[in-house]
Every structure is written in C-alpha cells, then in structure tokens.
Amino acid sequence: MPTTGRVEGDAPAPAPSLIPASLNGHRPRAVLWDLDGTLADSRVRHWESWQSALAAEHVAITMEQFLATFGQRNDAIIPKWLGPATTPEDIRRVADAKEAEYRRLLEQHGLDPLPGAAEWVRQLRAAGWRQAIASSAPRLNVDTMLRALRLAPCFDGLTAAEDVSAGKPDPEVFLTAAARRGVPRDRCVVVEDAPSGIEAARRAGMPCIGVGDGETAGATLRVTSLAELPPDAFDLLLKDR
C-alpha cells in the first residue's frame, strides 16, 4: 500500500491546479473517482434506504435487483421498479425520500474509507494530480460522504447527478469532470467499481482502474482493493498516452 509521508491532521498539500506541470515533467493530469463502492462502501445504507422509500409505494425489490442497478441514476432506476406508468412526480417523490433516508443513515452510522483509498487520494494530491469526484449520486449525498470520510480538502471539485443530463454508462460525467479540471481526456485516469462506470470510462477514452470483487472485466487494470495497487500504477496508465 502506498505511503504518503503525512498523517491525519497535517495541513493539506498545495492545490494541484497551482503546481506547474513542469514540476513533475507532465502536462496536467487528473484522477476521476467514483465514490460509492470505490472510496467507501455504503451499499448497505443504500439498500436500507431503498427499502424504506419503496415500502411507502408498496413495492418490494430483491437484493439482485438492487445490485444490478447500483451506480445508476435514480431517474433510470425508479421507473424499472414502479412500472411504465411512473411519472416525473413519482420519480422525484421516491428519489427524495430515498436520498433523505440515505443521508440520515450516514450521519447516524458514519463512514470509513475502503482499504488504500485515503492513502492514495492524499498521495496523488501531494504528487500534483488534480482530483475530482465523478458520481451518479446527488450532490448532497456526495457532500455528506466526503464530509464523513474527511477527504473533501483533497479534491478540486465534484461532478454529480445534477451536473449531467445522462448517467453512466454515458461518458458525460467523466468528460464534464475532466473539462472542469482543465485536463484533456487522454490525461485522465478513472477509478470505478461498477460495470456502468467502467463502460462510461471506456466511452470517454480514459484508462480505468476497476476496484472490488464485482464485475470489472472491462477495466484497464483490475484489483480487489486499492491497497493492492503498485506505487506507479497511475503513472503507468498514462505512460503511453
């Protein structure tokens, strides 16, 4: 697992956007992170909050249905579960109830980073990489998760569900995040855990690290845990680009 030379509570490293590219011999480069399932795992909280919101609609789903849609936007998920007569008002009502319950559960139970996640985020920032969250989740959820993880100062910004018109596997979220960081797509590395996100990275033309024990076959590099990544993993993914 990489070491950072910093301990919790140290002053954050200088913002990557202020570090000249000539300092490390590279044009600006960025890591675009998925959040849930990649930096932290709150699937159990999503499952609990979906059960709560759908119970009010007299709808039940299986764990298999839930896992098959993980990483997708609510406006794509909810019509599958409520049926063809679902209206925009239905989507908004159920989504608002689900996300409010999800945030309540996070605030109540807290959240820990997955193995290697915090170490890599801090090391990459210190090395001058620009970093952003690129998530299909609502912005309030992303803010809540980063606050719980105590990693917000390490990121230059975030792109969330409200910032794009199409969710993963559409590449818009990654292309938008890269553009906002001022980094061309061929200088970006995506870190993802879900098939839809890995496909979005492929469509964006960005190398992707697939994390976890799920379906990551489409990723450029696959690891069960971020703690398994070699020290030069991110540099090597851009070496020939």
At a CB cut-off of 8 Å and minimum separation 6, what does 221 contact? 207, 208, 209, 210, 229, 233, 237
DSSP code, position 72: S
pLDDT of the residue at 240: 66
> pTM (2 decimals)?
0.77
The domain that holds 195 is classified in CATH as 3.40.50.1000
CB 183 within 8 A of CB 205: no
Residues of the chain with confidence (pLDDT) below 70: 1-26, 240-241
Q: Tell which of 109, 131, 156 closes a domain.
A: 109
pLDDT of the residue at 11: 35
Q: Domain range spanning residue 221?
A: 16-41+113-239
Residue 216 tokens, joined: 């990551």
DSSP three-state, residue 31: strand
Which secondary structure element, helix H or strand E, spans residue 210, and what is its range?
Answer: strand 208-211
Q: What is the largest CA-CA distance in the chain?
A: 59
In this structure, the answer to whether residues 194 and 165 fall within a common structural domain is yes
In this structure, the answer to whether residues 159 and 215 fall within a common structural domain is yes
Q: Tell which of 65, 93, 109 closes a domain.
A: 109
Q: How many domains would you assign to the chain?
A: 2
The domain that holds 60 is classified in CATH as 1.10.150
Q: Tell which of 91, 109, 127 closes a domain.
A: 109
CB 201 within 8 A of CB 43: no
CA separation for the pair 69, 67 (Å, rounded): 5
Average predicted confidence (pLDDT) for the chain: 88
pLDDT of the residue at 215: 87
CA separation for the pair 211, 42 (Å, rounded): 15
